[in-house]
Amino acid sequence: MKRNNVLIDHTLIIDELERSIKFYNWNSILSFLPKDSYLVGGYIRDIVLKRVTEKVDVDIVVPSNAIEIGKMISENIKSKFIILDKEREVVRIILNHISIDIANQISSTIEGDLRSRDFSINSIAFLFDKKLLFDPLNGLKDLQFSLLKTYSETNLINDPLRILRCFRFVSELNFKIDPKLVDFIKKNKGKLFLVAKERINYEIHKIVNGKNALEAVILLKKFNIFGSDNIYKNSFFLDLQKINYTVLNKNERDKFLPLFFISQIFDEVSLEHFKLSRAEIAKTKLLRKWHFLLEKKNISELTESDRFALHKELEIFFPSFIFYLPQHLRLVWLHRWRDKDDKLFHPSNLLNGEVIKKNLKIKDGPILGDLLKYLSKELAYKRLNNFDEAIYKAKQWIEQNAPKCD
């Protein structure tokens, strides 16, 4: 797939780089950079792709003394200064919404440094003092053809997270992965378990929130990146290519598809291993619970209590569950969920605990909790209409269910 809207002319790219530097007002730091410093990485890549991002990340390489240079710049422009790696001399300057990383050159030549980077599309340099682009790995060509390639597989083994980053570029940029790189990923995916869980989490959330998340998640499943060998025997995982995602509106897709995709990427073992947030783990377990229950029992066979429990447990993220339902019910149930006044899909109550305790002389405890649940269910099935009816039914329930004393 060839992209026709990318910048390929060096002069145009350089003009756009200099315009962008002035626009974001970080050109003031250039005077502090020594000779042979250069810009590299995602900033150039996004300029070439004409990609606008909310957060601006800048990577600068200097011949030496990155910490000293970073401190001097930070003091002069009054910005936040962080040492990311003292031994390798990598620092970060944060200026408003711009993050500028400065690192020492690690090879004797600029080309040697670029050959050590993850992908060719991130290995294009802009030499500040000479005002020219340096692209020894043909990164511009790969950007034009939306192709993700690496110069050396060793570069990825040195930081296995770069394996996962391939899928982020699929999700965010709609790139294809070079066949040789695919073979490498399949052979080395197990090395991801050596990476800090926090870094894995960061990349996963970038993947599931990208514009082309579906394509990336399909590849993650196809290559079985996180699962055990028998992952596809687990019926929780769906055929993502057969799903009609248009039943969700844009806001619902943005808000609820990421959780659905997470539930498709991880099996239960890897879900716990990579320590996703407690909320994500809890929600995914609820998705599993109701999916497996509905595999064993037809929805029409659910009792009132089952249906009420389903909607109560899944209410706040129900669109993440919609694709586990029979297809003929998805849109019907979604319409009902969108109606905030539907008391089955949005369980509520006419009475709260304090009102019940005051009017019915009942104390805190399991009985009060069960009574509130009963009243909420009665409201959900339209057997309650007002406060007085709720009080009356509460009295009846207490007479029938409260423990009797001899």
Please indicate, yes or no, whether residues 29 and 124 belong to a single structural domain of this protein.
Answer: yes
Strands 147-148 vs 125-127: parallel, antiparallel or unpaired: unpaired
- The answer to whether residue 190 is domain-embedded is yes
Q: Which of 114, 144, 174 is the last residue of a domain?
A: 144
* Local confidence band at 245 (pLDDT 50, 70, 90 cut-offs): very high
Write the CA distances from 213 to 20, 257, 265, 319, 372, integer angstroms.
28, 9, 11, 17, 41
Q: Which of 144, 179, 213 is the last residue of a domain?
A: 144
pLDDT in tens, 284-305: 999 989 998 998 889 989 999 9
What's the average model confidence in pLDDT over 247-274? Answer: 89
- The answer to whether residue 192 is domain-embedded is yes
Q: Quote the number of domains for the chain.
A: 3
In what side-by-side order are the strands of the sheet with 38-40?
80-85, 90-95, 98-104, 56-62, 38-40, 125-127, 132-134
pLDDT in tens, 190-238: 898 889 888 999 999 999 999 999 999 999 988 888 866 555 455 567 8
- The answer to whether residue 332 is domain-embedded is no
Please indicate, yes or no, whether residues 252 and 378 belong to a single structural domain of this protein.
Answer: no
What percent of the chain has a predicted confidence (pLDDT) above 90? 63
Please indicate, yes or no, whether residues 39 and 126 belong to a single structural domain of this protein.
Answer: yes
Which range of residues forms the domain containing residue 273?
Answer: 147-281
- The answer to whether residue 366 is domain-embedded is yes
Question: CATH number for the domain including 74?
Answer: 3.30.460.10
Please indicate, yes or no, whether residues 127 and 165 belong to a single structural domain of this protein.
Answer: no
pTM of structure: 0.85
Q: Which residues contact 67 (CB under 8 A, 6 or more apart)?
A: 83, 86, 89, 91
Cβ atoms 262, 204 nearer than 8 A: yes
Q: What average pLDDT does the structure give for the chain?
A: 90
Please indicate, yes or no, whether residues 273 and 204 belong to a single structural domain of this protein.
Answer: yes
CA 244-288-168 angle, to 5 degrees, is 60
- The answer to whether residue 321 is domain-embedded is no
Please indicate, yes or no, whether residues 60 and 122 belong to a single structural domain of this protein.
Answer: yes
